[in-house]
Amino acid sequence: MLDIAEDSLARIEDLDPGVHAFLHVDRDHVLAQARAIDSRVKSGDREGALLGVPVAIKDNLCIAGLPTTCASRILEGYRPTYDATVVERLRAAGALLIGKTNLDEYAMGASTENSAWFPTRNPHDLKRVAGGSSGGSAAAIASGMALCALGSDTGGSVRQPASFCGLTGLRPTYGLVSRYGLVAFASSLDQVGPLALNAEDTEILLSVIAGPDARDSTCRTRPLAEYRRDLPGLRGVRIGAPPQYESDAIDRPVRQAMARLRAALEEAGAEFVRVDLPLTDYAIPTYYLVVTSEASSNLARFDGVRYGPRSEGADLADLYRRTRGRGFGDEVKRRIMLGTFALSSGYYDAYYKKALQVRQMIAREFDAAFSKVDFILGPTAPTPAFNIGEKSSDPLQLYLCDVFTAPSSLAGIPGLSVPVGFTESRLPIGAQILGPPGSDFRILRLARDVERLLGIENRPAEVSRGA
Amino acid sequence: MELEAVIGLEVHVQLGTRSKLFCACSAEFGGTPNSRICPICTGQPGVLPVLNREALRLAVLAGHALHCTIRTHTKFDRKNYFYPDLPKGYQISQFDQPIAYHGDLEFQMDDGTPRRAGITRAHLEEDAGKAVHPEGATISLVDLNRAGIPLIEIVGEPDLRSPAEAGAYLTALRRTLRYARVSECDMEKGSMRCDANVSIRTSGSERLGTKVEVKNMNSIRNVEHALAFEIERQKNLLLAGECIIQETRSFRDADGTTVRMRVKEQADDYRYFPDPDLPLFELDPSWIESIRRLLPESYRERRRRYEKDLALSDYDAEVLTEDREVSDWFEKVLAEGVAPKVAANWVQGEILAHLNATAAPIGTLRIGPRDLAELLSMVDAGELSQLAAKKVLKEMLSAGGRARDCAQSLDLLQMRDSSELNAIVDQVLREDPKTVADYQGGKKSAINGLIGKVMRASRGKGDPQVIKQLLAERLGG
């Protein structure tokens, strides 16, 4: 495995100065793992679905002893003492953890421009964003520096960068994958999700990381094997196409790619059914109330008392103000303030409580739709990857990137982005497949069919060096 | 104008679990600072809470003991505030769906007057750590051993009217929870903590006055002292035509006064919301009921039983039920067949005196209830006099060992064997012909002198009844 490790490290050394996918690559740690895997193989143990596979890990997942910063200055130098459950499972499967990838600070963003250190660039066009917040993970795969990666998806943070970078990325059913060791942004929506070049690899990665975990009380307890039964073929499958996912605000190349996809699926025997999701319009405000509220509480622990850089102050309140004032970036502060406001007494009922009610209505709307169809199909994002800096001055514009991904996050249902084509300038376009809770493996099966039907080659982009 | 005090107590009780509420760390008291911690209870990034089921069970048990309604659907909420001893920046607590609510506590004043106070609610929550500010130092230290220890907060209705009532309420609450084995309720170790809300109003008025919260009382007596001071202070202010300011005050043990901690200008905004890391808990009604059925006899029920069924005095019943462990010990003595009154005398006499003298709990005794029962059966069988039995027990308590062995090694077994006694009797009669003559001359009371001599000669081991009988046989008539 040592050669694989060396190759990966060499490729990172070669390409990452232009891509900026990684925040931390610990050469010794990678080589030590490779040697351990080698001796494991020599001792006759060839088990492990990911034996020697280089996997990149988003830097909001804990690996014992390695830096975990969430791309935030407030966690600079912090090294957790424990492995996240998903990391533990990757190790057990023989994976080679090659590095920690860049993200929007605390996974708050849709472009990986909110990283405290640098934006990650899209390997398909280094002037463009890789998407976010799992942009580092997506760019690492798209540039061939990792074979697959873990990201986290709160409102689209796996699916949208997968779409921007020409990858398959799955947001699992809420509770299918343990969150233990994932630094919380919005606990009721956060899910760890796999990204890879194709659906098959994505499925292998999911099979390794998913399944019950006693350390996460929100984890589903049903054994994973039960989710893999009765995967239907394409013939007779019913696919919902909601009008809400077909607006004129969607870029023309995206709409064209969706039309081609639909034609191919119908040709193969799938039936398209109109389903209506009128509450889609309320998803963004609902989503931003829920996530900012939870974030305001989840991020309270970053106070400089137990870990991370501390800015001393005149008194306790001053210490908190300075530490958090210097440690957090603007977007994080904006969300903490929004969430603090939404949870305040006197406003709770009008904002947070109302948002929870709408959230339930959205979940019921999906339930109703899935009584008529097996899947819901639409674009993952309204546009392909945009230019770096293009939207960073207007947070609202960035929030609207989540318009197709946030509703399913609120409902807790699985969603996957699969590459369905390119723009004229060779920017990838992704389609999103949604399914009812627990349909993750059925979605992955459909994604494989889509790959086969469209004949899109899934391989790393040709990255121009040192741009 | 007659003024009256209105008092409501908020009591935090540490549940007697082995591990913390949301992680596997030991919940034991004390320990080297920061030795009982893990990523979860120190609030490291990425960790998640998992509820300790035993804590949930104990909370339900406590709810039952306080006659509360137990909620079949319960949840946890985050109480958000910043303090260095609060690792996550929020405390996991229960806001609008406490596990137990609408209960009551019956208690008795010193003179025996019965009282009752309502329990508003009891909810589960995790404890915070401890911030230490070393004298003279410019730094503060944080010990997180306590962080995450399971507590129930028991909120009482403002039904108490005097410091004495508050003291009696707390005593009863402590005894009730100890009996139910919910908690040790040790105020000095902090496994029971009490905050008091006090206000003053015109007697008979329905409206409550402005309330003041008093904290930092580490014994029931201190609670009474603090309340007495606070009631006096508020009454004086009102009589002087001044207003009570809503504030939090701290009790100062040194001079028995209360001093201002902070003024509450507005309600604290803790931004409670349901903890998304924990699911809603649905409690099976049959499980809740099974815990109620396992609720042990309360101290009040036991006391009544001692008075009615065992015919013990008020005093004995009170003393013997004060401590659940002592009472259980006493019952085991009864189970060995010892008469209740006899067992009561010895347990509340010799045994409790020994415990008081050594300031030790009954669990540390060197003898068990069976050993006492054996000793008492020897007294009953005439093998030991009362006096000898007390000596034997003393030895048993200090050195351990079975009653018969101790009696033998102390050579205190009474002489049941008449040949040995006969020899002594004969000797006494030989050596005291004058008394024999007196007796035979009709002075029957002279026999008592002879009994005494035989007793002395046998060093107290002869049974006076047996000796009297032997003498009478010899002297004929």
Number of CB atoms found within 10 A of residue A358's CB = 18
- DSSP helix/strand/coil, B383: coil
CB B119 within 8 A of CB B156: yes
Asked if residue B153 and residue B51 are part of one domain, the reply reads yes
H/E stretch holding B78 reads strand B77-80
Contacting residues of B for A184, CB less than 8 Å apart: 45-46, 277
**Is residue B74 one of the residues assigned to a domain?**
yes
Shared domain check, B195 and B54:
yes
- Could you tell me if B240 and B198 lie in one domain? yes
B20 and B76 within one domain = yes
Fold of A1-213+233-467: Amidase signature (AS) enzymes (3.90.1300)
- Please give the radius of gyration of chain A, using alpha carbons only, rounded to the nearest integer: 21
Q: Tell me, what's the ipTM?
A: 0.96
Taking each helix axis as running N to C, give the angle between helix B324-335 and helix B299-308, from 0 to 180 degrees, rounded to the nearest 10. 40
Asked if the model's pLDDT at residue B462 lies above 80, the reply is no
Q: Can you give the residue range of the structural domain that contains B235?
A: 3-287
Nearest CB among A188, A307, A344 relative to B276 is that of: A188
If asked whether residues B398 and B429 sit together in one domain, one would say no
Q: Among residues 301-320 of chain A, which lie with CB inside 8 Å of chain B?
A: 301-303, 305-307, 316, 320
Q: Does the distance separating the beta carbons of B45 and A78 come in below 8 Å? A: yes
B314 and B424 in a single domain? The answer is: no
pTM of the model: 0.91
Alpha helices in A268-389 (DSSP H): 280-298, 316-327, 330-343, 354-370
Distance CA B212, CA B264 (A): 10
Of A182, A216, A300, the CB nearest to B90: A300
Rounded to whole angstroms, the Cα distance separating B419 from B426 reads 10
Whether B422 and B402 map to the same domain: the answer is no
Number of domains in chain B: 3
Among B373, B390, B409, which residue terminates a domain? B409
**Which of B25, B277, B280, B282 is the best residue to mutate to test the A interface, defined by the most A CB atoms within 10 Å of its own CB?**
B277
Residue B61 inside a domain? The answer is: yes
Contact A62 B276 (CB under 8 A): no
In the 8-state DSSP scheme, what is residue A197? S
Asked which of B229, B256, B287 is the last residue of a domain, the reply is B287
Which are the catalytic amino acids of A?
58, 133, 157
In the chain, the amino acid numbered A157 is S
The residue of chain A with its CA nearest to that of B91 is: A297
Would you tell me the crossing angle of helices B433-440 and B446-457 to the nearest 10 degrees?
Answer: 150
Which positions ≥6 away from A150 have C-beta within 8 Å? A55, A56, A57, A58, A61, A86, A90, A137, A192, A193, A194, A195, A205, A209
A186 and B276: CB-CB below 8 Å?
yes
Phi, psi of A423 (to 5 degrees): -80, 175
Residue B75's Cα: distance from chain center in Å?
31
B420 dihedral zone (left: phi>0; alpha: psi -120 to 50; beta): alpha
Q: Are residues B283 and B308 in the same domain?
A: no
Q: List the single residue in B50, B267, B271 with the smallest CB-CB distance to A214.
A: B50
A179:B276 CB<8 A: no
- Considering CB atoms only, which of B46, B49, B277 is closest to A62? B46
Nearest alpha carbon to residue B461 among B395, B398, B391, B400: B391
The reply to whether B447 and B385 lie within a common domain is: no
Inter-chain residue contact B84 with A214, CB threshold 8 Å = no
**Residue of chain A minimizing CA distance to B23:** A215
A181 touches chain B (CB under 8 A): yes
pLDDT by residue (tens digit) across B234-288?
A: 999 999 999 999 999 999 999 999 999 988 766 779 999 999 999 999 999 999 9
Q: Which H or E run includes B252?
A: strand B247-252
CB contact (8 A) between residue B46 and residue A183: yes
Q: Are residues B261 and B331 in the same domain?
A: no
* Sheet of A96-101, strands arranged across: A22-24, A96-101, A54-58, A148-153, A191-196, A168-171, A415-422, A428-434, A375-379, A238-240, A271-273
The residue type found at B242 is E
Chain A residues within an 8 Å CB radius of B87? 301, 306
What confidence category does residue B418 fall into, taking pLDDT thresholds of 50, 70 and 90?
low
Query: With an 8 Å Cβ cutoff, are B46 and A61 in contact?
Result: yes
Domain ranges of chain A: 1-213+233-467
In a domain, B292, yes or no: no
Please report residues of A whose CB lies closer than 8 A to that of B279: 217-218
Cis upstream peptide for A133 (omega within 30°): yes
DSSP state, residue A198: S
DSSP 3-state of B131:
strand
Summarize pLDDT for B214-231 with one digit per residue, the tens. 999 999 999 999 999 999
pLDDT of residue B320 exceeding 70, the answer is: yes
From A183, A294, A316, residue closest to B276, measured CB to CB: A294
Instruction: Identify from B23, B44, B86, B278 which residue to disrupt to test chain A contact, counting A C-beta atoms within 10 A and taking the largest count.
Output: B44
Inspect the interface and report whether the beta carbons of B82 and A300 lie closer than 8 Å. yes
Chain B contact for A221 (CB, 8 A cutoff): no
Taking one residue from A and the other from B, the number of pairs with CB-CB distance under 8 angstroms is: 102
Contact A297 B80 (CB under 8 A): yes
E strand or H helix that includes residue B233 = helix B220-239
Choose one of B236, B263, B287: the last residue of a domain: B287
Domain identity same for B264 and B339: no
Torsion (CA) A227, A231, A237, A240 in degrees, nearest 10: 20
Q: Parallel, antiparallel, or unpaired: how do β-strands A54-58 and A148-153 relate?
A: parallel
* pLDDT tens for chain A, residues 1 to 467: 889 999 999 999 999 999 999 999 999 999 999 999 999 889 988 888 999 999 999 999 999 999 999 999 999 999 999 999 999 999 999 999 999 999 999 999 999 999 999 999 999 999 999 999 999 999 999 999 999 999 999 999 999 999 999 999 999 999 999 999 999 999 999 999 999 999 999 999 999 999 999 999 999 999 999 998 777 788 899 999 999 998 888 999 999 999 999 999 999 999 999 999 999 999 999 999 999 999 999 999 999 999 999 999 999 999 999 999 999 999 999 999 999 999 998 899 999 999 999 999 999 999 999 999 999 999 999 999 999 999 888 877 788 888 999 999 999 999 999 999 999 999 999 999 999 999 999 999 999 999 999 998 788 888 876 44
Classify the C-alpha dihedral B39-B42-B48-B49 as positive or negative.
Answer: positive
A161, two tokens: 């960068």
Amino acid in position A217: S
**A218 contact B CB<8A:** yes
Residue B212 inside a domain? The answer is yes
State whether A81 and B51 contact (CB < 8 Å). Answer: no
Same domain for B86 and B150, yes or no, is yes
Q: Which of these, B25, B23, B27, B24, lies nearest to B48 by C-alpha position?
A: B23
Select the residue of B48, B80, B89 nearest A215 (Cβ to Cβ).
B48
Does A351 contact chain B (CB < 8 Å)?
A: no
What pLDDT score does A186 carry?
Answer: 98
| Min distance B89 CA to chain A CA atoms (Å) | 5
